[in-house]
Amino acid sequence: MWAPVNLNNPKPRQAGLREALVASIAASPHYRLVSHGSLDGQQLPKGEEAADAFVRSFEESSLAYVGCSHMKPVAPFCAFSVASELGIARIEHLVDYGALPRRREKDKWLTNAIASFLVVLFLEHPNIRQVALPVSVAEESFGDFSIKYIDGVAHAIRT
């Protein structure tokens, strides 16, 4: 079973999740779909040092969720910057095994992947009302939140 796990929580760190994430990224191709809040699409550099440098940047975000299956990293991985006092957040980093989708029919998969992280974010952080999504995703309702476009930018808005 796949589930997002917060990399910055002590228990997953003690269980070796950070080291496993570095090893996973170093061992196989991963793509930065979003980097520092903007679309990227570039493949992460290979090697242990480059993977460690990326993970350091990733974990500096307010929230850093690693997709896990039995506490082993499985992409996608997603990190958010959060302004709790304003009730807003933004995707800072989004990493997956493949590059950004080029056709609309792939948006549904990306929408569902991001929604998985948003379910956890909204559950764990009830003060967050809205999250900016710097990727092209489908407008859809997910019960506790909906994805809508505001001035051409996708946002997940708590309902």
Q: pLDDT tier at 106 (50, 70, 90 boundaries)?
A: very low
Supply the CATH number for residue 149's domain. Answer: 3.40.630
CA-based radius of gyration for the chain: 15
Expressed as residue numbers, the domain containing 119 is 2-158
The backbone torsions φ and ψ at residue 33, rounded to the nearest 5 degrees and listed phi first, read -75, -40
Could you tell me how many residues make up the chain?
Answer: 159
On the question of pLDDT at 121 being above 50, the answer is yes
Query: How much is the pLDDT for 156?
Result: 97
What's the rounded Cα separation, in Å, for the pair 90 and 80?
5
Looking only at the bridges linking them, the beta strands covering 31-35 and 72-83 are unpaired
The pLDDT assigned to 99 comes to 83
Distance CA 45, CA 17 (A): 20
Q: Which of 127, 123, 125, 122 is nearest to 147 (CA)?
A: 122
Specify the number of domains making up the chain: 1
pTM comes to: 0.92
- Specify the long-range contacts of residues 137-146, CB closer than 8 Å, at least 24 apart: 137/107, 137/110, 137/111, 138/107, 138/108, 138/111, 140/111, 140/115, 142/115, 142/118, 144/119, 145/118
Strands (E), the chain: 2-6, 31-35, 38-43, 63-69, 72-83, 88-96, 130-133, 140-141, 145-150, 153-158
